[in-house]
Amino acid sequence: MWKPLYTNISRHVSLNREDEAVIESLFRHRRYRKKQYLLQEGEICRYESFIIKGCTRTYEAGEKGQEHILQFGLEGWWVGNLYSFLSKTASGYNIDCLEDCEVLQITSTDLENLYARCPVMERFFRIIIQNAFIALQNRILNTLSKPASERYHDFILKYPQIEQRVPDKEIASYLGITPQSLSRIRKNYRSGKLP
Amino acid sequence: MWKPLYTNISRHVSLNREDEAVIESLFRHRRYRKKQYLLQEGEICRYESFIIKGCTRTYEAGEKGQEHILQFGLEGWWVGNLYSFLSKTASGYNIDCLEDCEVLQITSTDLENLYARCPVMERFFRIIIQNAFIALQNRILNTLSKPASERYHDFILKYPQIEQRVPDKEIASYLGITPQSLSRIRKNYRSGKLP
DNA sequence: CGAAAATTTGACATGACTCAACTGGAGTGG
DNA sequence: CCACTCCAGTTGAGTCATGTCAAATTTTCG
């Protein structure tokens, strides 16, 4: 159960046996069913979650039923609403499961605890957030500079696993276009022309 | 000269005299002229810069001369290309000055040094990046869910100082629209209708 | 199997882009 | 100080990408 988390952490910092003991005392294991919320708009985000198994979506719900996907989550990713988690204010968006999920969760109090007892984890989370930040910058530049068709092709190249597992309409939402537009882009693609 | 930096840092963590001494030994002060590059595409980003005075833009140059602005920088902001800085790879974008600037800079080696000698600074940068990350998430949601006119109004509400100091065409580039479109949005706005 | 959801398609509307021309102010040199 | 240039900003006309609405079709799943 702890293996995937340690693998993830060891990519950036080294843990010793005591660190692992602390981690095992502060994270809790939890399962969620497909469609179940990890976090619902209006709630305070109580946990940052590390995905061991399954697939999540983080999205904002518009007035007219539109959903805007901020992020997908797969095995080895961290999900949560950092702002709500840190400031203890109501979350402006939802996180739910596109598949049955298994996660490891930590509360903000325990995370502070973890930083105090394993300073190396402060570094770990700085690096994780740094990488997420860099990825978001690239996503913004993409959105600014490329047409939808190109953003879609970039997406399937970058996240082939996601393209396999989530419905097209979710991907359309992530790209900021309608499912109809995505369908037309795919049609053009299949018929040879890539524009 | 060090005052603005300390003010910025103290918003998140506490510094003692020794920390300040270390900081003063690791950062260097530097001036740049209007239009001068802090970082040019293809170079490795050698410094993270804290702006004491002036205004910068961080942007990617497209093939046909378009420029896509990722970020503005004003007094009290940090600018640099984090990815290039950390990975020591060529930067994909430029940073230059919209006004004469004064900055405090640190190299990546010295930043590692700083983390080692003042562990509290590791926490400080984690928090800074966390906040930047959260701001970017909001920007993405805005881009996905709102038309250009609304993004423009949000922008002038959120960054009135920037709207005062930078030309409209730069703001258009930040919003991902053409200067012509922005001009029309402003025209509608002045004539009473906000659409 | 049958209902619900996802995807596709068509017809039409619209927001934003491109290209081009015009305006007005800032800076420069005679 | 004036004439000139340069560049940001504005405006108009036509085009294109994407959205909207509605319906047909396929897939998923109980």
pLDDT tens, residue by residue, A149-179? 999 999 999 999 999 999 999 999 999 999 9
Domain that holds residue B81: 3-121
Instruction: Kindly provide the b/e burial profile for residues A32-67, where b requires at least 16 CB atoms within 10 angstroms of the residue's own CB.
Output: beeeeebbebeeebbbbbbbbebbbbbbbeeeeeeb
Q: Cα separation of B187 and B190, whole Å?
A: 5
Interatomic CA–C1' length for residue A175 and nucleotide C6, angstroms: 17
Residues of A with CB under 8 A from a CB of B: 60, 62, 66, 68-70, 82-83, 86, 93, 115, 119, 122-123, 125-126, 129-130, 132-134, 136-137, 139-141, 143-145, 173, 176
**Distance between A45 CA and the closest CA of chain B, angstroms:** 14
CB contact under 8 A, A140 and B115: no
Neighbours of A146 (CB within 10 A): 15
The residue count of chain A comes to 195
User: How many CB pairs below 8 Å do chains A and B form together?
Assistant: 77
| Chain centroid, CA B117 distance in Å | 26
Do the domain assignments include residue A134?
Answer: no
Do the domain assignments include residue A146?
Answer: no
A131 CB burial (10 A radius; 0-12, 13-18, 19+): middle
Residues of B with Cβ-Cβ distance to A115 under 8 angstroms: 123
CA neighbor of A59 nearest in space, from A79, A88, A30, A76: A79
pLDDT of residue A64: 78
Do the domain assignments include residue B151?
Answer: no
For chain B, what is the domain count?
1
CB B153 within 8 A of CB B194: yes
CATH number at residue A28: 2.60.120.10
Do the domain assignments include residue B175?
Answer: no
CB contact under 8 A, B144 and A83: no
Per-residue pLDDT of B8-58, as tens digits, reads 999 999 999 999 999 999 999 999 999 999 999 999 999 999 999 999 999
pLDDT of residue B21: 97
pLDDT of residue B192: 60
Do the domain assignments include residue B153?
Answer: no
The residue count of chain B comes to 195
At B67, is the secondary structure helix, strand, or coil? strand
Per-residue pLDDT of A88-108, as tens digits, reads 999 999 999 999 999 999 999
Do the domain assignments include residue B135?
Answer: no
Q: Cα separation of B178 and B53, whole Å?
A: 29
pLDDT of residue A168: 96
Do the domain assignments include residue B105?
Answer: yes
Do the domain assignments include residue B21?
Answer: yes
- Split at pLDDT 50, 70, 90, the class of B64 is confident
